[in-house]
Amino acid sequence: MKLAKYSMGIGDRFGRQGPAQLRAVMKAAAEGLPIDPVWNKSHREHTIIGTVPADVQREAQQAVAACRWEGAFYVDADHIGLANVDLFIESSNFFTLDVAEVIGQEPDEGDLRAFVHKHADLAGARPLPGVDQPMDITADQVGTAARKYLRAVQEAGRIYRHIEAAKGTGTFVVEVSMDECQDPQTPSELLVILAAISDEGIPAQTIAPKFTGRFNKGVDYVGQVCQFARQFEQDLAVIAFATERFPLPGELKLSVHSGSDKFSLYGPIREALGRFDAGLHLKTAGTTWLEELIGLATAGGEALDLAKDIYGQALQRFDELAEPYASVIDIDPSALPSPQAVGQWDSQTFADTLRHDPSCPQYNAHFRQLLHIAYKIAAEIGSRYLAALAAHEQIIARNVSENLYARHIRPLFMAGPALG
Ligand SMILES: [Zn+2]
């Protein structure tokens, strides 16, 4: 089971926008850009919203049937570990093995010595095709990186073999993720990690490192774009080198998490992918629900009131909602409008404040991030929220498709932005 060169993590909180998202992928395919759709939902998200992995599989299957999609599609057990992987075995064919928590745990001294001995030749300076500066690692740095990451990769091996025993070899896609941790991984650390992944026999097709800068949920990248671009292309060069050097899947590619709305990075990413002839996996699912809110606001009347009500409740429960997302949001409470002010807004004002159009003076990234993490409130509202989605299906579906195609797929993989 091989993932296409380009793939995107899609999916949504309430499982209603599968066809609308798939239509964006189909539009790209019709224009000659094949992308594999991957429905992803993390254990955290399932827990907050009260869904189970089989719901995601059902949504994907229904969307594929409704749209008569004949290409491949995947269901991603996103950010799983040994503690919860069993819940996902049956309904997933893509597994994101999250071992960030194990980073920094001391490996067995014998394992560490064996690794360093086996990979002693990683030390030294070597030019990497496509990057200006040679990669220069000392033997000490190989040892330090192995001490930091070897245990984590061994844990990924354990999770992988657990899934393999249950599902069978070659029947699922494997991603190794290390993005939800403290420090970004340097390209030389990535090389050591890939050597360890190969030693563990994990057929990883995607790897999600933590990149430099902040990847906040649903808003643009915060950091130095040129620094990110340099790291990103060095990572691509390391992957090209590692897949030649070690028995790793030749299609191994980078996976970018919290990838939605990183508009300032899409140009540099697209350019680097072209130069290295490299593939990419980009996870975006979380912002689909914001397009639902924009659609409801635009519909006006009771639907607009519902969107305002969700915001009012989110503001009251700020701390509770922010807690599980603390490392991936930056919300300045003083920049949030009062519920009284929002109560006066018309459809256009609500939609313009929420929609991520950086050129629109009304756009408010703080308002957007708060609503991004407020889906729990819509889940509690339950049937009234779902009924509103059904009543305004067309306007919402248009937003969802347009957002994915024009703001994400096009600038990332095809050409300049096609906003409008
Ligand atoms: Zn992630």
CA 64 to ligand 1 center in whole angstroms: 25
> Do 217 and 81 reside in the same domain of the chain?
yes
- Whole-number Å distance between alpha carbons of 249 and 203: 6
Distance 179 CA to ligand 1 centre (A): 6
Per-residue pLDDT of the chain (420 residues; tens, 9 = 90+): 899 999 999 988 999 999 999 999 999 999 999 999 999 988 888 998 899 999 999 999 999 999 999 999 999 999 999 999 999 999 999 999 999 999 999 999 999 999 999 999 999 999 998 998 889 999 999 999 999 999 999 999 999 999 999 999 999 999 999 998 889 999 999 999 999 999 999 999 999 999 999 999 999 999 999 999 999 999 999 999 999 999 999 999 999 998 999 999 999 999 999 999 999 999 987 789 999 999 999 999 999 999 999 999 999 999 999 998 888 899 999 999 999 999 999 999 999 999 999 899 999 999 999 999 999 999 999 999 999 999 999 999 999 999 999 999 999 999 754 443
Question: Which residue blocks in 317-364 are alpha helix, DSSP H?
Answer: 318-322, 339-343, 347-354
Quote the ligand 1 centre to 258 CA distance (angstroms). Answer: 6
Query: What is the 177 CA–ligand 1 centroid distance (Å)?
Result: 7
Residue type, 107: P
Q: Are 199 and 248 in the same domain? A: yes
Same domain (yes/no): 46, 194: yes
From ligand 1's centre to the CA of 44, what distance in Å? 11
CA dihedral 205, 72, 26, 359 (to 10 degrees): -30
Q: Are residues 201 and 253 in the same domain?
A: yes
- What spacing in Å lies between the alpha carbon of 96 and ligand 1's midpoint? 9
CA distance 386 to 309: 15
| Residue 238 domain-assigned (yes or no) | yes
Give a yes or no: residue 410 inside a domain.
no
DSSP string for residues in 144-198: HHHHHHHHHHHHHHHHHHHHHHHH-TTSSEEEEE--SSSSPPPHHHHHHHHHHHH
Q: How far is the CA of 239 from the centre of ligand 1 (A)?
A: 19
End-to-end CA distance of the chain: 37
350: left (phi over 0), alpha (psi -120 to 50) or beta: alpha
Coil, strand, or helix at residue 42?
strand
Same domain? For 276 and 334 the reply is: no
Containing structural domain, residue 362: 287-404
126 Cα: distance to centroid of ligand 1 (angstroms): 31
d(CA 204, CA 211): 19
Contact 274, 263 (CB under 8 A): no
CA–CA gap between residue 241 and residue 224 (Å, rounded):
26
The rounded Å distance from CA 361 to ligand 1 centre is 30
User: What is the phi-psi region of residue 124: left when phi exceeds 0, alpha when psi lies from -120 to 50, beta otherwise?
Assistant: left
213 is written with which tokens? 């800068």
- Asked if residue 414 belongs to a domain, the reply is no
**Residue 419 domain flag:** no
Phi, psi values for residue 94, rounded to 5°: -145, 130
Indicate whether 281 and 330 sit together in one domain: no
Looking at residue 418, its pLDDT comes to 44
Distance (angstroms) between ligand 1 centre and the Cα of 117 equals 32
Q: How far is the CA of 256 from the centre of ligand 1 (A)?
A: 8
SS3 (DSSP) at 79: strand
Q: Are residues 77 and 179 in the same domain?
A: yes
- Estimate to the nearest angstrom the gap between the alpha carbon of 82 and the chain centroid: 20
Task: Please give, one letter per residue, the 3-state secondary structure of 95-121.
Answer: EEEECHHHCCCCCCHHHHHHHHHHCHH
CA of 5 from ligand 1 middle (Å) equals: 20
CATH of the domain at 153: 3.20.20
Q: Which of 285, 311, 345 is the last residue of a domain?
A: 285
Give phi and psi for 124, each to the nearest 5. Answer: 120, 175
- Domain final position from 233, 254, 285: 285
Return the pLDDT at 182.
Answer: 86
User: Residue 174 phi/psi, 5° resolution?
Assistant: -115, 130
306 plus 187 within the same structural domain? no
User: Residue 267 has what pLDDT?
Assistant: 96
97 within some domain: yes
Q: Which residues 6+ apart lie within 8 Å of 363 measured at CB? A: 352, 353, 354, 355, 356, 357
**What is the CA(241)–ligand 1 centre distance, in A?**
25
Check whether residue 126 and residue 148 sit in a common domain: yes
Distance CA 24, CA 403 (A): 9
Residues 313 and 272 in one domain: no
In a domain, 278, yes or no: yes
Note the pLDDT of residue 416: 54
Counted domains in the chain: 2
Contact present, 282 and 245 (Cβ < 8 Å):
no
Q: Considering 285, 306, 336, which residue would you say is the last residue of a domain?
A: 285
94-98 and 124-126: which strand pairing? unpaired
Which residues neighbour ligand 1 (ion) by CB within 5 Å? 179, 257
In degrees, to the nearest 5, what angle opens at C-alpha 316 toward C-alphas 313 and 318?
A: 105
In this structure, is residue 411 part of a structural domain? no
Same domain, 92 and 224: yes
- Give, in degrees to the nearest 5, the angle at Cα 378 between 316 and 48: 90
Q: Are residues 275 and 295 in the same domain?
A: no
In a domain, 203, yes or no: yes
